[in-house]
Structures are given as structure tokens and as C-alpha cells.
């Protein structure tokens, strides 16, 4: 029974629970048992409370028994990134400075998951404060890729991607600031979406870079991702950047899975030197597949994309240096050296020195420097000008095509430790994903095969204009369906952790 439930997609599991063929408690028990079985090797979760999870599941079963109308994911378990506040479990952002912190309120995304009847299994590991591309920057140990436990699961949402890829959860939440959903989805063989900025609430999301952070879904197929996207998105008056507009029809688009007549642009700047040959091979095959399905494919040049990485690593650290100033040892969290002999400034300095990890310190220093007197215009101001040029490149491209496509990330999952001492090499993992964050547009990564060199997953990135998220799901579902028809099953069936 347990393994049968785990094999189901989230949509299938939700439907089975709705029909009374299984209960939310049955589903939660199956996944909790799976976590106990494999997470010692993967380290996807930072916090799991079996009894609290089963209590959530019983409450869903009781709501259904009472005749309450519930959504399509009611009773389905979900892994929740440890950057969203949860009043009933710790929220640490994988940082020592917040170890054991129990928030006094739920994030909007958390509250909407509960309202939809999803059962939160626990909080997942991540790069500290979402700063990283490998989940090696967590204060609580690295997370491992279920395809090869000697390799990274991507980051910063690597715990969420690993949990879904290891069949420890059918769904997971993540956040995407520069690619932190799409890149881990790609290297773990999953679907991951970055919704339009402002269409999913940041209220209760521990901020990294406020003009970039975007909550989004992880799933094992496109329809499941669309269902989760729809469940927690929508206007939130508590988020000043929230868009007051309807959620795009992503579920209908995922079910449509048709690209006939669509105009698809291949981004010229995202190919060539520095890209793994097998990644480019699978990407080119995907483009040819889309053409065979009736899409019109053209090459598109977006020259400002070449400067996106540099602009991002000025804008995001600048915002981080401001956002992380709140962790000052005075109000909550870690406090070091408060023995009655030191000033508040000394305690603050000691706490931040011990509480923040190396990557977080690196970005705070970089951001503070970029914002400092005499350098603001040269660095931060110039980066914002580049951001404007990137938006214009997207606007020009979308005047002629419906979506843009590229590889999601230049390589497959790299070995743990390989880039730890080389920040620039690490940052290049987000080369293809960053422009969408700077522009605020929608994007999705869908698996498009395994690289022939190493047998590891490759992701196809699909980008669309703001509030046209449904286009990414439509194209992603078409690619998914065509590849399944050709291979006879889902990509994850080839993973060592497949059930």
C-alpha cells in the first residue's frame, strides 16, 4: 500500500484520497516511512515531526468526512523549504543564527498550503539564507543528489529538489532568486517553476533579495507543478509587491500540452563555450522535438544577457546586506558574548561573526561595498541600468515570439566540493536562469533527458512574459508528453531512488 501511494503523482494521489480509496493519514504515513528509510543518505530534511504531521493529516480526513469542499491536492503531503515561516515548526533558513527559532506566524504560502489541505511533512535543507547553487552552504550539512549521492542537488532549494527526486515527498516548495528552483529541478530531473515576480506572496518568506525572491513549486510532472502553483499563488495585501491580478490558467495549460502554432525563440547567448556537450545535445533535441510538434522555432539575440550574471551579483548582495541587518542578536535568534561586560555593538559583531556562514558573509560584504558612499553609482546604479536593458531585450524578443527556450543550467550536477572554493565557478550554475529574475518574468524547467557523458538529468528552460506563466506550462507539458511517449515512462524511473 505504501509504495503504491508513493508511486502516484500528486494529482493521482489527491484524486484517490477524494474518492475514499486512501486517506490523508495513509499518504502521510507512507511518505514519513520513506523519509525514515532514505533521508539519512540524502539529508533533504532539517525538521520532521511524525506525530504533528499525522495530526495534520487526520484533520484533513476529518474535514473531508464533515463534507467540507476541498481542493485537488487535499491530503497530499508536501516538503516545505525552511525559508518560509511556520508557527508550528522551527524556521532557520539553514543558518546557525536562527537555530531553533519558532516563528509567531505562518507565511502566506504556508497558510495557503494548509487551507488547500496539503500536509506539511517537514522543513527542507537549503543554502543558508538561500545564498548558493549547491546546498553546500547549509549550517546543518550538505544535501545529496538522489541520482548520485556524491553530487550536488542544486541550490538554494536543494533539500526540496532532493526530497521530491528521492520520493520522500510528491511536491515541494522552493524560492527562486536567481535560479534556486529551476537549477535544482534541472539537476534532479524534476519540474520546477519560477512564477511571475509578485504573483506568489513573499509575506513570511525570510528575505534574501526582495526585488528578486519568488516562491514556486517543485514536482515530478508538469500538471502537479501547475496544481501546486495555483494552490499558493494570488494577490496578498500583506505583500507590498504582490500583483493584484488573477493567477494565470496554469492547470488548464498543463492539461492542454499542445504547441502547434506557437512561436519559440532559441536564445543565442545561452550556448557554446562553458556548456557541457551532453546538455547542448539534449537541448537541441528538445528544440527539434518542439518543431516536430508544430511550433515555429527561430533564433533570438538578447545581447544584454551577457551582463546579467555581473549585474545580479551586485543587486542581490546589495539587497541582502540590507535585509540581513535585522539579524542583530538583539531581538531574536543567536546571541554570542552577552556576559554583561560587552556593549550591544560588541555582542552584535560577535553574533554575526559566529552565526553567519562564509557565503553569507561574502555577499553581505560585497553588497555593503556596492552600496557605500562613492561606489553606489558605479556599481549598484550601473547594475540597475543593466537590469533595464535586460528587460528591454525580453520585451523585444516577446514582441516576435511566444516563449524563449534555453538549457536551464550549463552542466549536469557537479561533484560535491568541486566548486566550494571557487565562487565564480559556482555562480556560473545560474548563468541561464538569472535574466528572468532580473526582469520579473515567468520561467519553468522541465526534464529533457539524460546527458550521455554521465547519465544525469538535463533541464529545458522555458521563459514567458510576466503573467503569461501558462505558456511555460503548455510548452513544458508538450515536451514531457512527447518524451514519455518516446521513452515509455518518466525520466525519474531511471533514478537509483525510484520506487
Which residues are the active-site residues?
81, 156, 180
What is the 3 state secondary structure string of the chain? CHHHHHHCCHHHHHHHHHCCCCCHHHHHHHHHHHHHHHHHHHCCEEEECHHHHHHHHHHHHHHHHCCCCCCCCCCCEEEEECCECCCCCCCCCCCHHHCCCCCCCCCHHHHHHHHCCCEEEEEECCCHHHCCCCCCCCCCCCCCECCECCECCCCCCHHHHHHHHCCCCCEEEEECCCCCCHHHHHHHCCEEEECCCCCCCCCCECCCCCCCCCEEEEECCHHHHHHHHHHHCCCCCCCCCCCCCCCCCHHHHHHHCCCCCCEEEEECCCCCCCCCHHHHHHHHHHHHHHHHCCCEEEEECCHHHHHHHHHHHHHHHHHHHHHHHHCCCCCCCCCCCCCCCCCHHHHHHHHHHHHCCHHHHHHHHHHHHHCCCCCCHHHHHHHHHHHHHHHHHHHHHHCCCCEEEEECCCCCCCECCCCCCCHHHHHHHHCCCHHHHHHCCEEEEEEEEECCCCCCEEEEEEEECCCCHHHHHHHHHHHHHHHHHHHCCCHHHHCCCCC
Amino acid at each position: 500500500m505504501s509504495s503504491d501511494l508513493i508511486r502516484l503523482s500528486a494529482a493521482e494521489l489527491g484524486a484517490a484520497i477524494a474518492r475514499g480509496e486512501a486517506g490523508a493519514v495513509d499518504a502521510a504515513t507512507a511518505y514519513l516511512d520513506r523519509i525514515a528509510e532514505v533521508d539519512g543518505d540524502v539529508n533533504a530534511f532539517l525538521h520532521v515531526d511524525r506525530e504533528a504531521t499525522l495530526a495534520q493529516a487526520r484533520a484533513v480526513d476529518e474535514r473531508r468526512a464533515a463534507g467540507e469542499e476541498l481542493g485537488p491536492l487535499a491530503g497530499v503531503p508536501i516538503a516545505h523549504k525552511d525559508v518560509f515561516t511556520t508557527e508550528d515548526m522551527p524556521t532557520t533558513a539553514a543558518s546557525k543564527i536562527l537555530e531553533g527559532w519558532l516563528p509567531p506566524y505562518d507565511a502566506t504560502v504556508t497558510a495557503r498550503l494548509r487551507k488547500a489541505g496539503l500536509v506539511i511533512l517537514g522543513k527542507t535543507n537549503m543554502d543558508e539564507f538561500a545564498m548558493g547553487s549547491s546546498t553546500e552552504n547549509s549550517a546543518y550539512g550538505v544535501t545529496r543528489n538522489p541520482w548520485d549521492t556524491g553530487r550536488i542537488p542544486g541550490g538554494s532549494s536543494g533539500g526540496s529538489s532532493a526530497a521530491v527526486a528521492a520520493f520522500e515527498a510528491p511536491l515541494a516548495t522552493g524560492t527562486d532568486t536567481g535560479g534556486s528552483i529551476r537549477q535544482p529541478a534541472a539537476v534532479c530531473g524534476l519540474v520546477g517553476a519560477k512564477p511571475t515576480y509578485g504573483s506568489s506572496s513573499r509575506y513570511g518568506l525570510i528575505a534574501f533579495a526582495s526585488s528578486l525572491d519568488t516562491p514556486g513549486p517543485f514536482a515530478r510532472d508538469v500538471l502537479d507543478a501547475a496544481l501546486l502553483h495555483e494552490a499558493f499563488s494570488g494577490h496578498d495585501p500583506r505583500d507590498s509587491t504582490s500583483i493584484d491580478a488573477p493567477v494565470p490558467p496554469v492547470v488548464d495549460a498543463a492539461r492542454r500540452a499542445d504547441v502547434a502554432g506557437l512561436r519559440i525563440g532559441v536564445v543565442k547567448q545561452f550556448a557554446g563555450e562553458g556548456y557541457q556537450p551532453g546538455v547542448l545535445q539534449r537541448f537541441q533535441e528538445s528544440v527539434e522535438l518542439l518543431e516536430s510538434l508544430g511550433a515555429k522555432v527561430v533564433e533570438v539575440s538578447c545581447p544584454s544577457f551577457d551582463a546579467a550574471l555581473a549585474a545580479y551579483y551586485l543587486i542581490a548582495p546589495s539587497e541582502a546586506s540590507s535585509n540581513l541587518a535585522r539579524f542583530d542578536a538583539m531581538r531574536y535568534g543567536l546571541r554570542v558574548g552577552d556576559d554583561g561586560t560587552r556593549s550591544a555593538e560588541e555582542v552584535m559583531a560577535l553574533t554575526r561573526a559566529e552565526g553567519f556562514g562564509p557565503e553569507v558573509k561574502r555577499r553581505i560584504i560585497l553588497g555593503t561595498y556596492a552600496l557605500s558612499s562613492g561606489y553606489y553609482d558605479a556599481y549598484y546604479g550601473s547594475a540597475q541600468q543593466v537590469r533595464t536593458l535586460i528587460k528591454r531585450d525580453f520585451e523585444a524578443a516577446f514582441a516576435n515570439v511566444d516563449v524563449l527556450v534555453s538549457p536551464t543550467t550549463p552542466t549536469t550536477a557537479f561533484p560535491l566540493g568541486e566548486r566550494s572554493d571557487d565562487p565564480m565557478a559556482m555562480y556560473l550554475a545560474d548563468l541561464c536562469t538569472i535574466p528572468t529574475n532580473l526582469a520579473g518574468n515567468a520561467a519553468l524547467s522541465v526534464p529533457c533527458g539524460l546527458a550521455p557523458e554521465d547519465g544525469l538529468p538535463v533541464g529545458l528552460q522555458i521563459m514567458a512574459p510576466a503573467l503569461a506563466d501558462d505558456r511555460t506550462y503548455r510548452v513544458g507539458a508538450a515536451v514531457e508528453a512527447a518524451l514519455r511517449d518516446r521513452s515509455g515512462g518518466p525520466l525519474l524511473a531511471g533514478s537509483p531512488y525510484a520506487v
